[in-house]
Amino acid sequence: MKDDPQDRGDERKIHPTPLLDELEDGPWPSFVTGLKRLRDEGSESNRKIMNDLLGQLNHSYENRMGYWKGGTVSVFGYGGGIIPRFSEVADKFPESKEFHTLRVMPPAGYHYTTEILRKMCDIWERHGSGLIAFHGQSGDIMFQGCTTENTQKAFDELNEIGFDLGGAGPALRTAMSCVGHARCEQSCYDEVRAHRTIINKLLDEMHRPALPYKFKFKFSGCANDCVNAIHRADFAVIGTWRDDIKINQEKVKEHIAAKGRKYTIDTVVSMCPTRAISLNDDDTIEIDNKSCVRCMHCINVMTKALSPGDDRGVSIMIGGKRALKIGDLMGIMVVPFMKLETDEDFEKLEDFAERVVEFFADNALEHERVGETIDRIGLPAFLEALDIEPDPNMVNHPRTSCYVRTDDFDEEAEKWFERKAREAGLQISAE
Ligand code: SF4
């Protein structure tokens, strides 16, 4: 039988939570169960805090009112990273009257050791409520439920084990990168390095909020985009390749032998958005690589038979975000392809990121995301400001709407091919 705090002779009164109890019904895990576990089995101080937190939450549900208000809480040397929460019903629920959240930056790629996780739990048991969320929507580790007095103590100890606060408010926000090439065979670049390079370079913008509004970087190793970069990041770096998809015909045959031709046609050939795949009579496949838009679908289905090409790099999209002034935006293609292998490549990425953030700081209105700035001033002005040449590969949607104007397109295309040929010639002579 579950340990009942009242049976333990615990003197505190357990707040009844009839409305929250409803949320434990059904097949899915419930956050209420987690909170109750801390209330019933946590350390003494964690139990008290959670009891009052649950009481306040149930009270909120009864009255359909939120009782948290903001304020200002920070740690020495930082202007952001703490989300202050003060209770308006502290007289009824005193133990959770201050319930601030520390946003802490996770390691790039979310790689932890169990030792570090245990240390984090110990710190939060000492100074906070015991409640930690891996990871919040912002990408941060959310250490939830701390008093103003303990905020600095918790931060100092987290800092000692190598962690730093993330972003909040009008600032560079905590970045996210997928697990990437450490674990995933589809990865097209070193996401972790790109993530660390850019965030280390721009860290001041995170700790001392001075931007017009939030600015987010996200790094996905391939077009599967496991960290939702294209629609959540102001600056999305997504891995891709520009040569041919690699095909292992033996594995293709094995796949077809195991699953059947019909299955392969239904799930791979006819699902290719550009009809670039054909299945031969001898159970091999062909891909028209000029038509392929690198969507990853066929590779996801036939993971052993197909894989990204060898000439890998990244595309950069700017301006993705959720609803705000002009509704949801997908990032717009600004750098169709760049290599990201050598130190020099990473320096170029770092420099470009810095220039985009500077542009944002100088030109965005208050409370405006960079996608909205581009919408307001027009894409040509943005490209000009960043000294980016228009390129036919800059598209809104693959193969449907190139945003380079198509009147006089032949002449423009001619110039583009000439420029590419010149660049190729320069590269060859430089080599
Ligand atoms: Fe078609 Fe996408 Fe495969 Fe390219 S990656 S061949 S577009 S399914």
| Domain 1-166 CATH class label | alpha beta
* Residue whose CB lies within 8 A of the most ligand 1 atoms, among 188, 269, 297, 397, for a mutation test: 297
Say how far apart CA 303 and CA 185 lie, in whole Å.
9
Ligand 1 lined by 269 (C-beta under 6 Å): no
Token pair of 329, please? 């935006």
Helix (H) or strand (E) holding 220: strand 217-220
Peptide bond into 111 cis (omega under 30): no
pLDDT of residue 380: 84
DSSP annotation string for 128-146: EEEEEEE--TTSSEEEEEE
Q: How far is the CA of 245 from the centre of ligand 1 (A)?
A: 9
Q: How far is the CA of 227 from the centre of ligand 1 (A)?
A: 21
Ligand 1 lined by 338 (C-beta under 6 Å): no
Q: Whose CA is nearest to atom 3 of ligand 1?
A: 298
Q: How far is the CA of 348 from the centre of ligand 1 (A)?
A: 29
Q: How far is the CA of 292 from the centre of ligand 1 (A)?
A: 5
Biggest distance spanned by C-alpha atoms of the chain: 85
Q: Whose CA is nearest to atom 4 of ligand 1?
A: 292
Q: How far is the CA of 398 from the centre of ligand 1 (A)?
A: 12
The closest alpha carbon to 141, from 150, 128, 79, belongs to 128
Say how far apart CA 45 and CA 322 lie, in whole Å.
38
246-307: same fold as 1-166?
yes
* Residue whose CB lies within 8 A of the most ligand 1 atoms, among 278, 285, 287, for a mutation test: 287
* Residue whose CB lies within 8 A of the most ligand 1 atoms, among 295, 296, 306, for a mutation test: 295
What is the mean pLDDT of each successive set of 10 residues along the chain, which is 431 residues long? 48 88 92 94 93 97 95 89 95 96 94 96 95 89 96 96 92 93 93 95 92 95 94 95 96 96 96 94 95 94 96 95 84 92 96 96 94 90 89 68 64 80 62 36
pLDDT of residue 192: 95
* Residue whose CB lies within 8 A of the most ligand 1 atoms, among 264, 293, 395, 399, for a mutation test: 293
Domain boundaries in the chain? Answer: 1-166, 176-238+312-394, 246-307
Say how far apart CA 332 and CA 374 lie, in whole Å.
10
Say how far apart CA 139 and CA 81 lie, in whole Å.
13
Q: Which atom of ligand 1 is nearest to the CA of 287?
A: 6
- Note the Cα 106 to chain centre separation in Å: 11
Q: How far is the CA of 290 from the centre of ligand 1 (A)?
A: 10
User: In CATH, what number does 176-238+312-394 get?
Assistant: 3.30.413.10
DSSP 8-class letter at 180: G
pLDDT of residue 325: 78
Q: Which atom of ligand 1 is nearest to the CA of 268?
A: 8
> Do residues 313 and 338 make contact, with C-beta atoms less than 8 angstroms apart?
yes
| Domain 246-307 CATH class label | alpha beta
pLDDT of residue 399: 58
Categorise residue 45: left if φ over 0, alpha if ψ from -120 to 50, beta otherwise. Answer: alpha
Ligand 1 lined by 273 (C-beta under 6 Å): yes
Pairing mode, strands 141-146 and 128-134? antiparallel
Q: Is 386 exposed, middle or buried (0-12, 13-18, 19+ CB in 10 A)?
A: middle
Say how far apart CA 32 and CA 184 lie, in whole Å.
34
Q: How far is the CA of 293 from the centre of ligand 1 (A)?
A: 6
Helix (H) or strand (E) holding 336: strand 332-338
Ligand 1 lined by 301 (C-beta under 6 Å): no
